[in-house]
Structure 1
Amino acid sequence: MRRTSLVAAALALSAAVSGCGVLGIGEEPADLQVYSARHYDLEEAFADFTDETGITVDFLYGDDAELLQRLKAEGAETPADVYMTVDAGNLWKAAQDDELAPLKSAELDGAVPADLRDPQGRWYGLALRARTVAYNPDAVDPSEFDTKDTYADLADPKWKGRLCMRDETEAYTQSLVASLIDLYGREKTLGIVEGWVANDVEIMSNDILLLEALDSGACDVALVNHYYYARELTENPDLNVKLFWASQDGAGTHANISGAGVVESSDNPKQAQQLLEWLATDGQSAFVDGNHEYPVNPDVEPEQLIKGFGEFKRMPIDAEAYGDLNAEATDLLAEAGYQ
């Protein structure tokens, strides 16, 4: 893990004077510590925040579960002010473990839809990512996809030898399966995952490998996060891969969030809340555009590349289901032989 300061001390000192009007007379801008599992293009957005407020932001990086365990171990002595994750289930777990402070913020409640935030204000979604079907158009006609239950349909034998998916240890896989358990129940979901396995699904360690396999023809269909596809398109406009929005005639495309909450024992709770409010409003585009994610704020337009993917119906995000059913999803993947 690494700690990265986003601005020099001189900039912080200069910005402190201009930031006094934001924080209140006599208040000094804080140096916020963010424990972040989100590693993508953060620097520019947070440098903008520092420039506007004089509040500097440092990061300690790790994965969601690792950082949550660190918070618990550090207790009241933690230097963390903000916990930022890439999975709604981990935010729910942090709130359940009393690691996050409840906020009262009309600004956040107005910017973040209800199913993308905690009812008690302990965490808020800040960026939206869709996990959907990607395919090689030379090998697949999109009419082959079931438009009602697309994820379940990938268990159909017609896809045998044609599937690539992400590994079972990845939060993206676990939350998808947890959402299917919530939607269909355990028995049907087990049958779906067993169907994927019976179709000789090839498991890969990251979404970039999945997209490269599709492009080369090594597999025909994969499940990917939309922003990985956007990144690959940016680097290779001739990428021979297309997206298909899953389950548009059913529950909708599975989605997850990158979000954050203020740590319960933060020494700078007011400034930490200010950071979250900025990320959901004035800083929303800066936060999401660099990684091609969808804004959670309905008043903010997606950047042009992903806007070109077209509108889609997303499955409502149930953070409690993602978190509470995570262990069951992990056990189910093991029982089905998904590895």
Structure 2
Amino acid sequence: MFRLSTLALLACSVPALAQEINVYSHRQPELIQPLVDAFTAETGIKVNVAFVDKGMAERLVAEGDRSPADLVLTVDIARLMQIVEADVTQPVQSEVLEANIPETLRDPNDHWFGLTARARIVYAAKDRVDPAEITTYEDLASDKWKGRICSRSGLNDYNIALLGAMIVHHGEDYATKWAEGLKANLARKPDGGDRDQVKAIAAGECDIAIGNTYYIGQMLADPEQRAAAEAVTVTFPVFENGGSHLNISGVAMTKSAPNKENALKFMEWLAGDTAQKIYAETNNEYPVKAGVERSAVVASWGEFTADPTPLAEIAKARAAALKIMETVNFDG
């Protein structure tokens, strides 16, 4: 696997090789490597992956036309939009991508494409909460949950996206009151990540928490976290006029893309049956391609109705959602 410094040297010292591509990835290397190995085995095209934890858009801007990166792999609609808004991506026209990826999970201007989905749902204590009590996202601000909810920071991208969806559904005034109500129902100040909310429920600190589905799958596979995960039920609230909120991991082609043809092959392959199955089994995410089986753990959570709101519309509400969370001082 190449480090960023190695990829940067490639851009300056040697021409792009015809049978390789370079990927900047925000996703953990262990999640990407099974995909890389399978793609290379099938096509003979080498994939050099550089793990970029922070500052991906800034790096691409700084590298400009000299960037060796062909593709960007990242999580959350906010990060995808940050890269697009930095003007370092290019549109991609592909019948394969259009056929395999639902319209709501890709950019209307063809700059980014969702590859996996995760639902932002509610974890509920098995011994203290009847799953039937979990109905809508709107209901989480009702008094019946007073002192019973745990949450990570309201400024976290996943929560900002959920609030953005609330804005799209109901407007900013309603979303502000909802955020205030949700804050009033917290059992403690926002802290930690989604896994920490599961642990807090298991420890009796709260009864429910907002989180992403795939974290439960990861915790169930970890002997040290399995007991906490087994203490909660995965429930799927919906918007009053919609379904359960989805977010994505996705891909975009850089404007510089020195290996554009092979990069497109990799994008299309990632949206195909083989890669979608690997994604499902490796990280317990939902395949975006219809007909691909979910992992056994994910399938055990049952069916749900996905919210039809296009992620591009939710992304437009990000600034307003961020302002609301700061105005209500959600983390305070």
TM-score normalised by the chain length of structure 2: 0.88
Query: What amino acid sits opposite 2:203 in the alignment?
Result: S
CA shift, 1:76, in A, is 1.1
Query: What amino acid sits opposite 1:55 in the alignment?
Result: I
User: Which SS does the other structure have where 2:116 is aligned?
Assistant: strand
CA shift, 1:67, in A, is 0.9
1:148-187 maps to which residues of 2 (within 5 A)?
Answer: 150-187=136-173
CA shift, 1:248, in A, is 7.1
Q: Deviations over 1:3-47 (max 9, x none)?
A: 39xxxxxxxxxxxxxxxxxxxxxx8411x2212222262111111
CA shift, 1:204, in A, is 2.1
Which residue in 1 is equivalent to 2:103? Answer: 114
Instruction: Measure, in 1, the Cα distance between the counterparts of 2:315 and 2:238.
Output: 22
Q: Is the 8 A contact 2:18 2:259 kept in 1?
A: no
User: Which SS does the other structure have where 2:22 is aligned?
Assistant: strand
CA shift, 1:133, in A, is 0.7
Q: Deviations over 1:60-87 (max 9, x none)?
A: 33357x2122212221121211011211
Identify which range, 284-293 or 181-190, moves more after superposition. 284-293
Q: Is the 8 A contact 2:103 2:310 kept in 1?
A: no
- Residues 249 and 329 of structure 1: CA distance in aligned 2, closer, same or farther (over 3 Å): closer
CA shift, 1:317, in A, is 4.5
Identify which range, 290-299 or 309-318, moves more after superposition. 309-318
User: Which SS does the other structure have where 2:210 is aligned?
Assistant: strand
CA shift, 1:113, in A, is 1.1
> Which ranges of structure 1 fall in alignment gaps of 5 or more residues?
5-26
Which residue in 2 is equivalent to 1:135? Answer: 124
User: Root-mean-square deviation (CA), in Å?
Assistant: 2.1
Which residue in 1 is equivalent to 2:287? Answer: 295
Which residue in 1 is equivalent to 2:265? Answer: 274
Size of the alignment, in residue pairs?
A: 312
- Residues 63 and 28 of structure 1: CA distance in aligned 2, closer, same or farther (over 3 Å): closer
Q: Does 1:198 align with 2:184?
A: yes
Q: Deviations over 1:266-319 (max 9, x none)?
A: 101111111111111032211332000000000211112101111100112433
2:37 to 30, 43, 47: 47
1:305 to 297, 302, 311: 297
Instruction: Measure, in 1, the Cα distance between the counterparts of 2:18 and 2:138.
Output: 54
Q: Is the 8 A contact 2:137 2:239 kept in 1?
A: no
1:209 to 196, 199, 217: 196
CA shift, 1:196, in A, is 1.3
Runs of 4+ in 1 over 4 A off after TM superposition: none
Instruction: Measure, in 2, the Cα distance between the counterparts of 1:80 and 1:184.
Output: 40
> Which ranges of structure 2 fall in alignment gaps of 5 or more residues?
5-16
Q: Is the 8 A contact 1:136 1:215 kept in 2?
A: yes
Q: Is the 8 A contact 1:34 1:84 kept in 2?
A: yes
Q: Percent identity?
A: 34
Query: What amino acid sits opposite 1:95 in the alignment?
Result: V
Instruction: Measure, in 2, the Cα distance between the counterparts of 1:248 and 1:119.
Output: 23
Instruction: Measure, in 1, the Cα distance between the counterparts of 2:69 and 2:314.
Output: 24
Instruction: Measure, in 2, the Cα distance between the counterparts of 1:175 and 1:221.
Output: 19
Identify which range, 51-60 or 130-139, moves more after superposition. 51-60
Instruction: Measure, in 2, the Cα distance between the counterparts of 1:250 and 1:166.
Output: 26
Query: What amino acid sits opposite 1:240 in the alignment?
Result: A
Query: What amino acid sits opposite 1:205 in the alignment?
Result: G
- Residues 61 and 28 of structure 1: CA distance in aligned 2, closer, same or farther (over 3 Å): closer
Q: Is the 8 A contact 2:24 2:69 kept in 1?
A: yes
Instruction: Measure, in 1, the Cα distance between the counterparts of 2:298 and 2:310.
Output: 24
Q: Deviations over 1:205-227 (max 9, x none)?
A: 21111111112222100011000
Which residue in 1 is equivalent to 2:12? Answer: none
Query: What amino acid sits opposite 2:276 in the alignment?
Result: Q
Q: Is the 8 A contact 2:131 2:233 kept in 1?
A: no
CA shift, 1:171, in A, is 0.9
User: Which SS does the other structure have where 1:110 is aligned?
Assistant: helix
- Residues 88 and 304 of structure 1: CA distance in aligned 2, closer, same or farther (over 3 Å): same
CA shift, 1:249, in A, is 6.3
Query: What amino acid sits opposite 2:172 in the alignment?
Result: R
Instruction: Measure, in 2, the Cα distance between the counterparts of 1:73 and 1:317.
Output: 34
